Amino acid sequence: MLRDEAAPIVILTGAGISKESGLHTFRDPDGIWARYDISEVATPDAFINNPDLVHHFYNDRRAALIDPDIQPNTAHRALARLEREWPGDVLLVTQNIDDLHGRAGSKNLIHMHGELLKIRCNHCDLLTHWSDPLGRETPCPACGKSGGLRPHVVWFGEMPLEMERIYAALADCGLFISIGTSGNVYPAAGFVQTARDEAGTETIELNLEPSNGATLFDHSQYGPATELVPAFVN
């Protein structure tokens, strides 16, 4: 598949890779956005207007994530193995806020939409690991003020994290792989075009079904991530 056998690889993952671990995607018929209105839980205005609902939404998702039944699957593990064994750089950029890639052993990992198990404070610089369910009055353990603690996630209208590092890697990669994402959310949905334009990169999509940007990929394979990803990495 690769022209250069040590070429840097950039991998973008989305909710589909964690689906077979037992976590919901967003836009599938049984997805999160079928039960919640995006504008009520995933925007800065939602947090200002109804912090209780936003905290409830993320407290529930943390409880689901730390359930012992939720474990990395063979697709997460295959990507960690690729990073260990590939002679060139492998950068894994995930839109997912779960911690399954890290638990599977991926190290060169960017959580561009944040991390569910971290919280930060709007009043001070605190960024820390979450330990207990948050409420609107929960005081910040660093500055002591209430009302400022929020999930360390990127809501609509907010800037995704580590964009400079991501774009630098896209401009220099020999293979771009997109896994388990519907291609609805920017800037991630534009990475395939950037990799093509900036680096003439070979591009491949591994997804259950064609994504919004399916025609931009040189190669596509459709099916469950736990089958496609280990087979691709081997």
Q: Please, is 217 exposed, middle or buried when counting C-beta atoms within 10 Å of its C-beta (0-12, 13-18, 19+)?
A: buried
95 touches ligand BJW by CB under 6 A: yes
- In the complex, the smallest distance separating the C-beta of residue 33 from ligand BJW, rounded to whole angstroms, is 8
Question: Which amino acid makes up residue 137?
Answer: E
154 touches ligand BJW by CB under 6 A: yes
CB 170 within 8 A of CB 176: yes
- In the complex, the smallest distance separating the C-beta of residue 4 from ligand BJW, rounded to whole angstroms, is 27
CB 222 within 8 A of CB 210: yes
Q: Give the strand pairing for 114-121 and 149-153.
A: antiparallel
- Whether 123 is catalytic is no
Q: How many Å apart are CA 170 and CA 166, to the nearest integer?
A: 6
Phi, psi (degrees; rounded to nearest 5) at 215: -70, -10
224 touches ligand BJW by CB under 6 A: yes
34 touches ligand BJW by CB under 6 A: no
Secondary structure letter of residue 168 according to DSSP: H
CB 47 within 8 A of CB 150: yes
- Of the candidate residues 143, 163, 168, 231, the single one contacting ligand BJW (CB under 6 A): 163
- In the complex, the smallest distance separating the C-beta of residue 190 from ligand BJW, rounded to whole angstroms, is 7
Site stretch for ligand BJW (CB under 6 A), options 4-12, 134-142, 157-165, 194-202: 157-165
Q: What is the residue-wise DSSP string for 28-93? A: STTSHHHHS-HHHHSSHHHHHH-HHHHHHHHHHHHHHHTSTT----HHHHHHHHHHHH-SS-EEEE
Total of residues contacting ligand BJW (CB under 6 A): 36
182 touches ligand BJW by CB under 6 A: yes
Site stretch for ligand BJW (CB under 6 A), options 46-54, 84-92, 150-158, 213-221: 150-158
**Angle, CA of 211, 217 and 222, to the nearest 5°:** 50
232 touches ligand BJW by CB under 6 A: no
Q: Is 140 annotated as a binding residue?
A: yes
Site string for ligand BJW, 186-215 (x = CB under 6 A): xx-------------------xxx-x----
Q: Is 79 annotated as a binding residue?
A: no
**Angle, CA of 28, 113 and 118, to the nearest 5°:** 110
- In the complex, the smallest distance separating the C-beta of residue 67 from ligand BJW, rounded to whole angstroms, is 17
Binding-site annotation: residue ranges for NAD(+): 14-33, 95-98, 180-182, 207-209, 225
Binding site for ligand BJW (CB under 6 A): 14-16, 19-20, 25-28, 31, 42, 95, 97, 113, 153-160, 163, 180-182, 184-187, 207-209, 211, 224-225
* Residues marked as catalytic: 113
